[in-house]
Homo-oligomer: A and B are copies of this chain.
Amino acid sequence: MTRKELIDQIRKKKSFLCVGLDPDLNKLPRHLLNEEDPVFSFNKAIIDATAPFCVAFKPNLAFYESLGSTGLISFEKTVRYLGSCYPDHFVIADAKRGDIGNTAKMYARSFFDFYNVDAVTLSPYMGADSITPFLEYKGKWGIVLALTSNKGCEDFQLTVDKKGCRLFEDVILKTSKLGSPDNIMYVAGATRGSLLADVRRLIPRNFLLIPGIGSQGGDLEEVAKLTLIEDIGILVNSSRGIIYASQDTDFDTVAAIEAKNLNEQMAELLS
């Protein structure tokens, strides 16, 4: 999906919501466990219920891989279902991959040729050649970790170098030159307060993928104030706050209510 198509979808729906598809067997509604593929049944119901209120879906690979090849089959069914029934939704494989160039090519092939998702999250520790192979596919995106929402963000990402540049800033400065706002986004956590403004200053045009509202404590209004641009430029993710809002038989209806709620707040922020 191109940048223009993504922005058009956001304007049409008045929503920059991304729904995280992180199915944990221990948290799935009990009645689904009797289904042939509980993970896919759960995802399908969540997707059908929340699609009208969001523009993106983000399955995190860890939740599928923890179930071995069976889980990967559920992941594949999920992205194929999205591709055929919801082609206007942006699909992000949250995989946080990062390997030497030769190997990064294999990961890019996996996500873009085989699964055909729109974007993959990438870890920048191994540098440029771990990122460039993902930028060679037309209409596909690399989403580089810059400033993450977890506590561990403080361990290395905020380290200041001799020139006064913090690691997340150095990551943004160096990697943004590898592509353009048409194929690189950045992860920046909603929990990082004013640092979000620093990120926005460095990259006035790139989309940001912003996790950390809801369960993790980030505030939607503050996030929008610091990062929204004329071309929108943000996708705000919510996973647990939506998909596990109810763990009973009404899980999809309640997920839809939570998504609609966020959609309404976003519509207000966009107006």
Alpha-carbon gap, A222 to B121, bound state (A): 37
Q: A130 to nearest B CB, angstroms?
A: 6
Sample of 5 more A-B contacts, CB < 8 Å, known A63-B106, A130-B150: A65-B107, A69-B72, A100-B150, A127-B152, A159-B161
Cβ-defined partner of A98 (8 Å) among B63, B96, B160, B174:
B96
5 closest cross-chain pairs (CB), A and B: A127-B152, A127-B155, A100-B150, A62-B106, A69-B72
**Chain A 169-188 per-residue mask, 1 if CB under 8 angstroms from chain B, else 0:** 01100100000000000000
List of B residues within 8 angstroms of A109 by Cβ: 66
List of B residues within 8 angstroms of A69 by Cβ: 69, 72-73, 75-76
Cβ-defined partner of A167 (8 Å) among B62, B115, B159:
B159
List of B residues within 8 angstroms of A114 by Cβ: 66-68
Cβ-defined partner of A150 (8 Å) among B97, B127, B161:
B127
Asked if A60 is at the interface (CB within 8 A of a chain B CB), the reply is yes
Q: Is the pair A127, B115 in contact by a Cβ cutoff of 8 Å?
A: no
Residue ranges of A at the interface with B (Cβ–Cβ < 8 Å): 22, 24, 60, 62-63, 65-69, 72-73, 75-76, 96-101, 103-104, 106-107, 109-110, 114-115, 123-130, 145, 148-157, 159-162, 167, 170-171, 174
List of B residues within 8 angstroms of A130 by Cβ: 150, 152
Q: Is the pair B151, A127 in contact by a Cβ cutoff of 8 Å?
A: yes
List of B residues within 8 angstroms of A174 by Cβ: 155-156
List of B residues within 8 angstroms of A107 by Cβ: 62, 65-66
Q: A215 to nearest B CB, angstroms?
A: 9
Q: Is the pair A97, B96 in contact by a Cβ cutoff of 8 Å?
A: yes
Cβ-defined partner of A126 (8 Å) among B129, B145, B162:
B145
List of B residues within 8 angstroms of A157 by Cβ: 125-127
Alpha-carbon gap, A253 to B101, bound state (A): 29
Q: A89 to nearest B CB, angstroms?
A: 21
Alpha-carbon gap, A129 to B101, bound state (A): 27
Name 9 interchain pairs, CB-CB below 8 A, sorted by A.
A62-B110, A100-B149, A101-B150, A125-B156, A125-B157, A126-B153, A127-B153, A129-B152, A159-B167
Q: A167 to nearest B CB, angstroms?
A: 7
List of B residues within 8 angstroms of A156 by Cβ: 124-125, 127, 167, 170-171, 174
Identify the interface centre among A68, A152, A157: most chain B CB within 10 Å of its CB: A152
Cβ-defined partner of A123 (8 Å) among B125, B155, B170:
B125
Q: Is the pair B167, A155 in contact by a Cβ cutoff of 8 Å?
A: no
Q: Is the pair A100, B68 in contact by a Cβ cutoff of 8 Å?
A: no
List of B residues within 8 angstroms of A159 by Cβ: 161, 167, 170
